[in-house]
Amino acid sequence: MLTPNDRPLSNGAKPIRLLIVNAVGPGYNGQMAFIMKYLRSMDRTGMEIGFVSIRMPPEPLRAELESLGVQVYALQRKRKPLSYVRNLSRLIRREGYTIVHAHGNSATLALEMAAARLGGAHARIAHSHNTHCRYAAAHYLLKPIFSRLTNVRMACGEAAGRWMFGRAPFEIIPIAADPEAYRFDQAKRDAMRRT
């Protein structure tokens, strides 16, 4: 029987197994918009992608994720964080995810980084989307653990990166936006002024 890591592609290569984790919830928010823009526009050839969130996404969002070939999971995070880490690490190991890309606002992403390490993921990506959080005490308490477990650091901007990673190096990944949608158009301007 083949394990997830052994499933060959048509060219004989093994697929890239990526698990995206949204630690703040899958509603219609900036973080989810960021994730969806990249999923829609990225070349998913040779990839098997999973998506984990703290609750099941609304049906239209879930349907779109599945139409993109993304396997969707919901795991309770807030009330039982240790169970969450155990369940997430088991999912990572069982499905053979080697890359875990976790999106959040604080060093509470230490939970996802710990699960990724326990689950055998080689790339443990923390992606910062904010410059503050609701749980500042937990952020500062978990920051040393988070820093040791994270091996790839990303942020949506300089301030978000400094908030999450301090002096550690990180890469800024700009929000995916179609520049043509923002190009100046005199006819549109005139029409808007007439309304």
> In DSSP terms, which residues pair with 153 in a beta bridge?
126
Task: Answer yes or no: is pLDDT of 2 > 70.
Answer: no
- Give the integer Cα–Cα distance in Å for 41 and 7: 25
Are 51 and 73 in contact by the 8 Å Cβ rule? The answer is yes
Give the span between the Cα atoms of 189 and 15, in whole angstroms.
47
pLDDT at 5: 43
| pLDDT tens, residue by residue, 109-161 | 999 999 999 999 999 999 999 998 888 899 999 999 999 999 999 999 999 99
Find where tokens 């088991």 sit. Answer: 90
Is 0.85 surpassed by the pTM of this model? no
What is residue 4's predicted lDDT score, i.e. its pLDDT?
44
Please give the mean pLDDT across all residues of the chain: 89
d(CA 90, CA 115): 8
Nearest Cα to Cα of residue 103 among 52, 157, 148:
52
Location of structure tokens 């949608």: 181
pLDDT tens for each residue of 35-82 = 999 999 899 999 999 999 988 999 999 999 999 999 999 999 888 999
Beta-strand ranges (E) seen in 75-191 are 99-104, 123-128, 152-155, 171-172
Tell me the mean pLDDT in the region 87-106.
Answer: 97
Which pLDDT belongs to residue 176? 60
Model confidence band, residue 179 (pLDDT cutoffs 50, 70, 90) = low
According to the model, what pLDDT value does residue 44 have?
93
What is the three-class DSSP state of 192?
helix
